[in-house]
Amino acid sequence: MTTPRTGAEELGDPELSAAQVVEPGAVTIVVPTYNESGNIRELLRRLTDSVPSRLPCEVLFVDDSTDDTPDVIRSAAQDCPFPVGVLHRDTPDGGLGGAVVEGMRRAGSDWIVVMDADLQHPPALVPDLVAAGERAGADLVVASRYISGGSREGLAGGYRVAVSRGATWLTKALFPRRLRGVSDPMSGFFAIRRSVVRADALKPLGYKILLELAVRCRPETVAEVPFVFQDRFAGESKSTAKEGMRFLGHLTGLRTASAMARMVAFGLIGLTGFVPNLLALHLLTGAGMHYLPAEIVANQFGVAWNFLLIEVLLFRDRRRHRHWADRAGRFALLANADLLLRIPLIALFVSWLDMAVLPATALALLTTFVVRFAATEALVYLPRAKSAPPAALPDARVGSSS
């Protein structure tokens, strides 16, 4: 809980220190780690130098490492003046984002600060994030590289800078309302009130957990603090092309969370299927095949293309219900049945409703599209069983575990 605010605090006094607005044990610092043994001692040293004197804290490492990182954490923790815990996960569900969510479930403080272990996020800024949240009455405080006083100088290479800026633009374009007031949605350094975290609603994939929290937990008030992105202290970056693909898949999953959004995406994916369809038709007829069987075979190329995109982008989290061959067979059956259904529908609209051929064809296309989307979702990608009612985050203090 926070202490009552004074008049100066309500006005956002710039001289207000973190210690004036929080109680002991006010922040749990969650650090997801994957093979970061070379950074642990320096990270804890810098946290010790900059945080406890301003803000009582506890640190929880959620570790997915395959090296000796957990042992290094336990050894270095003996010299720390604050509680340090380590939770090693045998199965890294959800990647680093999943590790953060697990840490949030176990946090015992009113504020949770998430930061990386590689020291690209300056530990000295932890108290400032919490103090900014208290001054503004914010639920979420983002350390931003893109506001006055911030910098991305530690983001090495023009390629990584371009990817970061492109991802930032894309996410803000897709979620203009949810990310209002967030200039750096790709930041991995932020503070959030424990009371707004709905861990049951989170479905992290990869390492961009801030976007997940902002979209699914919907914090009402957001504040930002500038920070300079530092050079990595030791080890190698976890940012890879594979992580980039996971991010795109995650972004699509967030944007298509509603049935209407999924239907729109389903239609857009279907439109892209015309490219492999027409290309296959051109090649087959060019090789001498009659155009009618060529049309049937070429259609299967479009079906296969659509199936792959839908698997990766649209129903990624619903693929466990059936074997991939079963899903592919059902999808192909529905896609080809669409052709068989469309012709009788056109005839029906023309003969019974006295419609012209073109509007009848358009109405038939719309009807079969809606039916195919509903059938695909229900018969190919069955929704997951409903989970138990959401439980509040446990009020447990950080402790060492493995």
**327 and 366 inside one domain:** yes
Q: Which helix (H) or strand (E) holds 144?
A: strand 140-144
Non-local CB neighbours of 57 within 8 Å, separated by 6+ positions: 25, 26, 27, 28, 29, 47, 51, 82, 109, 126
**202 and 265 inside one domain:** no
Inform me whether the pLDDT recorded for 218 exceeds 80.
Answer: yes
**71 and 181 inside one domain:** yes
Q: Do the beta carbons of residue 120 and residue 236 sit within 8 Å?
A: no
Query: Does residue 242 lie in a domain region?
Result: no
**38 and 157 inside one domain:** yes
Model confidence pLDDT, tens digit, residues 194-210: 988 887 777 766 567 88
Q: How many CA atoms lie within 13 A of 377 on its CB side?
A: 17
Non-local CB neighbours of 9 within 8 Å, separated by 6+ positions: 16, 20, 21, 134, 135
Query: Does residue 103 lie in a domain region?
Result: yes
**288 and 224 inside one domain:** no
Inform me whether the pLDDT recorded for 385 exceeds 90.
Answer: no
**213 and 168 inside one domain:** yes
Q: Do the beta carbons of residue 103 and residue 197 sit within 8 Å?
A: no
Model confidence pLDDT, tens digit, residues 143-174: 998 888 887 665 555 555 666 677 777 777 77
Query: Does residue 388 lie in a domain region?
Result: no
Residue whose tokens read 């069987």: 293
Strand partners, 113: 29, 191
Model confidence pLDDT, tens digit, residues 338-382: 777 877 888 888 888 888 877 777 787 788 888 888 888 888 887
Query: Does residue 392 lie in a domain region?
Result: no
Model confidence pLDDT, tens digit, residues 57-72: 999 999 999 999 999 9
Q: What is the Cα–Cα distance from 208 to 198, expressed in whole angstroms? A: 17
Inform me whether the pLDDT recorded for 91 exceeds 70.
Answer: yes
Mean pLDDT, the chain, rounded, equals 78
Query: Which residue would you say has higher pLDDT here, 245 or 106?
Result: 106
3-state secondary structure of 63: strand
Q: What is the Cα–Cα distance from 254 to 313, expressed in whole angstroms? A: 10
Query: Which residue would you say has higher pLDDT here, 275 or 138?
Result: 138
Domain range for residue 200?
7-236
Q: Do the beta carbons of residue 237 and residue 154 sit within 8 Å?
A: no
- Helix-helix angle 126-136:40-50, to 10 degrees: 50
Query: Does residue 357 lie in a domain region?
Result: yes
Model confidence pLDDT, tens digit, residues 39-63: 999 999 999 999 988 888 999 999 9
Here the tokens at position 397 are 């203090």
Inform me whether the pLDDT recorded for 332 exceeds 80.
Answer: yes
Q: Residue 192: give its domain's CATH number.
A: 3.90.550.10
Q: Do the beta carbons of residue 3 and residue 18 sit within 8 Å?
A: no
**21 and 153 inside one domain:** yes
Q: Which helix (H) or strand (E) holds 291?
A: helix 291-309
Which of 185, 191, 222, 187 lies closest to 128, judged by CA? 191
Query: Which residue would you say has higher pLDDT here, 162 or 85?
Result: 85
**176 and 274 inside one domain:** no
Inform me whether the pLDDT recorded for 14 exceeds 60.
Answer: no
Q: What is the Cα–Cα distance from 31 to 173, expressed in whole angstroms? A: 29
Query: Does residue 119 lie in a domain region?
Result: yes
Give the model's confidence band at 241: pLDDT under 50 very low, under 70 low, under 90 confident, else very high: low
3-state secondary structure of 296: helix
Which of 255, 394, 361 lies closest to 314, judged by CA? 255
Mean pLDDT of the 70-91 span: 92
**281 and 180 inside one domain:** no
Query: Does residue 399 lie in a domain region?
Result: no
∠ CA 297-300-305, nearest 5°, is 140
Instruction: Output the pLDDT for position 255.
Output: 64
290 class by beta-carbon count within 10 Å (0-12 exposed, 13-18 middle, 19+ buried): exposed
3-state secondary structure of 233: coil
Query: Which residue would you say has higher pLDDT here, 220 or 166?
Result: 220
Here the tokens at position 352 are 């019974």
- Is the pTM value of this prediction over 0.85? no
**295 and 361 inside one domain:** yes
Query: Which residue would you say has higher pLDDT here, 314 or 133?
Result: 133
**206 and 264 inside one domain:** no
Query: Which residue would you say has higher pLDDT here, 401 or 244?
Result: 244
DSSP state of 217: T
**Furthest-apart CA atoms within the chain: distance in Å:** 85
Inform me whether the pLDDT recorded for 320 exceeds 80.
Answer: no
Q: What is the Cα–Cα distance from 397 to 91, expressed in whole angstroms? A: 23
Strand order of the sheet with strand 140-144? 84-88, 57-63, 27-33, 111-114, 190-193, 140-144, 222-226
Percent of the chain with pLDDT over 70: 77
Instruction: Output the pLDDT for position 3.
Output: 33
Inform me whether the pLDDT recorded for 140 exceeds 80.
Answer: yes
Instruction: Output the pLDDT for position 62.
Output: 93
Indicate the number of domains in the chain. 2
Non-local CB neighbours of 208 within 8 Å, separated by 6+ positions: 97, 185, 186, 188, 247, 250
Q: What is the Cα–Cα distance from 191 to 28, expressed in whole angstroms? A: 10
Domain boundary among 236, 268, 294: 236
Model confidence pLDDT, tens digit, residues 269-278: 888 877 887 7
Q: What is the Cα–Cα distance from 143 to 180, expressed in whole angstroms? A: 15
**117 and 55 inside one domain:** yes
Inform me whether the pLDDT recorded for 128 exceeds 90.
Answer: yes
Query: Does residue 244 lie in a domain region?
Result: no
Percent of the chain with pLDDT over 90: 22
Mean pLDDT of the 289-314 span: 82
